[in-house]
Amino acid sequence: MNASTKVRIVDDADCLAAIASRLRYRPTDSMVIACVRPDRTLGLVARVDLADVNPKSAAWLATKAQEDHATHVVVVLYSEDTTNVLVCHDLITEALEIRGIPVACAYQVTPTRYRLLGQPGVRWVPITEVAESRAALTFHLNGRHVAEKREDLLPRPAAPHKRAKATAAFERYRAEYPRTAEPDTRLAVWNAAVHTVPDDAPTLGRLAAMLTDKDVRDALFVAMIPGSPADLPARMLANPNNPADHGAVGEAMARLTIPSRAVRPDKTTQATANLLAQIIAHAPAEHSANAWALLGVLLWWQGEPIAGDALQHALAIEPDHTLASTLLDAVVQGFPPAWVRAEQNKFQD
């Protein structure tokens, strides 16, 4: 969905639809806070398991809301256990109030219905009203779909016969295509795939084999982030040991992490994420760490809640994967990408 798309929230169903759209899935047994910024736009949306809600985690969430310059917060508790819902509601409300942030409204949501909390006599409403709301339809038409489960947002293995074809192509590429191949050829193949997102298994297998090369991974990472010299990825592949280019990855990462140098994701970012998801679905699982890591970077950059899941997949395959482990630390700490922090900084006194 285009970042400039504006959706006006006029009722409870719209509000819950907007939060679900940001999460991209329908959580269960969770507490979610949605921050409203001074310009009345939706800012940070953060989720924790209900089982993990305690004074410490509530204080952490409230601090994140404060950092997001929230003027008020919407709290959504996804559970049928009303007793636990009320306990968690009180914990987050107190933590927010300590920081001067009021709770505008709070909801209890179950798989079949929802209601406002803190207002005696308020009726339960069928959950179908959220999916049928004007906001939900607008998000859907703009390509912002909501999955039933978190894991549905991650790449799933392709059909066995497609994976077999991709694996055969993967092995052929690794055996026949040396690392000394023309860098422009590899970049051209990748760029063409980004713009078409192929669905033929052999092509995806060859791309997966390319990504197992760290030098290729680093060059493609630099190519994914706007702001680098156009010829830099090709230079990195032509001469990986050139001292002049050793800081290229760090420079690209700086544009993702430093607000004064921030760049926003664009349509190419999503197309690249789609390609990486296809590669992961077809590639031999034991050789997909780099693809998972790059996908995690792009998801985090886009503000997607499953970025950490992708990075954990990379680390499960390659525990010492530097890119994945570094960024996962940032995700766990709730560190947002630079363009989000730049937006937050606009509201500083």
Question: What's 25's DSSP letter?
Answer: B
* pLDDT of amino acid 7: 82
* pLDDT of amino acid 1: 44
- What mean pLDDT is reported for the chain? 91
Residue 5 binned pLDDT confidence (cut-offs 50, 70, 90): low
* pLDDT of amino acid 23: 93
Residues 145-166: what's their mean pLDDT? 93
Q: Pick the closest to residue 50 from 104, 91, 7, 12 (CA basis).
A: 91
| Token pair for 296 | 């995690």
Beta bridge partners of 107: 76, 116
Q: Which of 87-101, 146-160, 329-343 is predicted most confidently? A: 87-101
Residue 4 has pLDDT above 50, yes or no: no
**SS3 letters for 248-304?**
HHHHHHHHHHCHHHCCCCCHHHHHHHHHHHHHHHHCCHHHCHHHHHHHHHHHHHCCC
Residue 183 has pLDDT above 80, yes or no: no
Residues 37-58: what's their mean pLDDT? 94
Residue 349 has pLDDT above 90, yes or no: no
Residue 71 binned pLDDT confidence (cut-offs 50, 70, 90): very high
Identity of the amino acid at 159:
A
The number of CA neighbours under 13 Å toward the Cβ of 272 is: 26
Residue 62 has pLDDT above 70, yes or no: yes
Question: What's 24's DSSP letter?
Answer: S
How open is the CA angle 42-47-48, to the nearest 5 degrees? 155
Q: Is 56 helix (H, G, I), strand (E, B) or coil?
A: helix
* pLDDT of amino acid 69: 94
Residues 231-260: what's their mean pLDDT? 88
Residue 291 has pLDDT above 60, yes or no: yes
Residue 2 has pLDDT above 80, yes or no: no
Q: Are 34 and 71 in contact (CB under 8 A)?
A: no
Q: What percent of the chain has pLDDT over 70?
A: 97
| Domains of the chain, residue spans | 12-151, 160-344
Residue 43 binned pLDDT confidence (cut-offs 50, 70, 90): very high
Q: How many CB atoms lie within 10 A of CB 71?
A: 18
Residues 93-99: what's their mean pLDDT? 97
* pLDDT of amino acid 18: 93
Residue 94 has pLDDT above 80, yes or no: yes
Q: What is the pTM of this model?
A: 0.89
Question: What's 326's DSSP letter?
Answer: H
Phi, psi of 111 (to 5 degrees): -60, -20
Would you tell me which CATH number, out of the four given (3.30.70, 1.10.3470, 3.40.140, 1.20.140), belongs to the domain 12-151? 3.40.140
Residue 180 binned pLDDT confidence (cut-offs 50, 70, 90): low
Q: Which long-range contacts (CB under 8 A, 24 or more apart) does 330-334 make?
A: 330/257, 330/300, 331/300, 331/307, 332/308, 334/46, 334/60, 334/64
Residue 239 has pLDDT above 90, yes or no: no
